[in-house]
Amino acid sequence: MAYCPVLLVFILAFVCVSTEDEPVPSQMTKAERIQLREEARSMFYHAYDAYMDNAYPADELMPLSCKGRWRGVTPSRGDMDDVLGNFSLTLVDSLDTLVVMGDFSEFNRAVRLVLRDVSFDHDIIVSVFETNIRMLGGLLSAHVLATALRSEVPILRWYDGQLLALAEDLGRRLLPAFNTSTGIPHGRVNLRHGLRGLSESRETCTACAGTMILEMAALSRLTGDPVFEQKAHRAMDRLWMIRHRTSDLMGTVINIHSGDWVRKDSGVGAGIDSYYEYCLKAYILLGDEKYLARFTRHYNAVMKYISRPPVMLAVHMHRPHLQSRNFMDALLAFWPGLQVLLGDVRPAVETHEML
């Protein structure tokens, strides 16, 4: 569940490119695929080993000085530092990738390090969204994988749900963020003190509010406590309620107390991106048709108003024929991956080629 760009590269590398006018190029050979796989593997270990050797247990590696980045110690980057919670972010975010790499012995070592070193009782304000997708998602996916591997991988036989207990502790620390009259969560929360010091916070982004359901639902189903899933569903319901009723498009910034739009420009990149992703994946993970129906309405709207092959341009949600800007941000590069997941491969290939 933690984001895995490596997997996206794999998926897209296997898509065979063709256009109307050109002959279909020959498909990739098995040797070429293996070579790309090994290239991705060595890129992963380059980053992972450098982090473990030079930065761990800090949250991030600073790639130029080759030192760990510590919240409140290294010079602040403003909002970007909201991902840093003094909880070894990069290691937790990498756990599932170690399993994808088939590296069970390093996975075992990494899980033991997390259980020894990671804790959440810190007086630190973190991004609810980033903490959910990377930390909660990382802990939950590692828990599910460790549980599944335990019977077949002897070195993992000791594993007995310890990561789930950590995930539940973290999940409870995120819950105060949902205490708004709209159910749309605050963008930030203090890991130790909840909303203390955050009474001024009023705005959040669509993606921030709408990228909780996979991890929160998994946490509820695994622990048996429905509260996490309920909060995330409520936020999703509210987002769906405030879509533009004729265009089915979403804006990018919301007032969490009134539910009113603060910014009404509508694209598929920064500020919205993973809300669309989570609508489709909520259907895939939970089997709830409601999310497929919502995703389909949003998808048709995006393809009608935002997709201008070969580019994708943001429009005004209430006047969707009016472009709101004339550039594309890097975050929308996830869109072809979502289209492949949906099975709409042709536009995915076109957009990927253009990117």
Ligand X SMILES: *[C@@H]1O[C@H](CO)[C@@H](O)[C@H](O)[C@H]1NC(C)=O
Residues in contact with ligand X by the rule CB under 6 A: 70-73, 86, 122, 124, 176, 179, 194
- 72 or 224: CB nearest ligand X: 72
- 124 or 340: CB nearest ligand X: 124
Q: Which helix (H) or strand (E) holds 116?
A: helix 104-117
Residues 6+ apart with CB under 8 A from 250: 206, 239, 242, 243, 244, 266, 272, 275, 298, 317
Question: Minimum distance from CB of 35 to ligand X (Å)?
Answer: 41
- 51 or 305: CB nearest ligand X: 51
**What whole-number distance in Å separates Cα of residue 352 and Cα of residue 261?**
31
Question: Minimum distance from CB of 193 to ligand X (Å)?
Answer: 11
- 193 or 297: CB nearest ligand X: 193
Closest CA to 57 of 68, 73, 72, 71: 68
- 10 or 70: CB nearest ligand X: 70
- 175 or 311: CB nearest ligand X: 175
Phi-psi region of 26 (alpha: psi -120 to 50; beta: other; left: phi over 0): beta
Contact 120, 159 (CB under 8 A): no
Q: Find the length of the chain.
A: 355
E-strand stretches of 58-217: 60-62, 67-69, 125-127, 188-190, 203-205
Contact 192, 179 (CB under 8 A): no
208-225: burial string, b at 16+ Cβ within 10 Å, e else: bbbbbbbbbbbbbebbee
Question: Minimum distance from CB of 123 to ligand X (Å)?
Answer: 6
- 179 or 246: CB nearest ligand X: 179
Question: Minimum distance from CB of 122 to ligand X (Å)?
Answer: 6
Question: Minimum distance from CB of 52 to ligand X (Å)?
Answer: 17
Question: Minimum distance from CB of 43 to ligand X (Å)?
Answer: 29
Question: Minimum distance from CB of 280 to ligand X (Å)?
Answer: 31
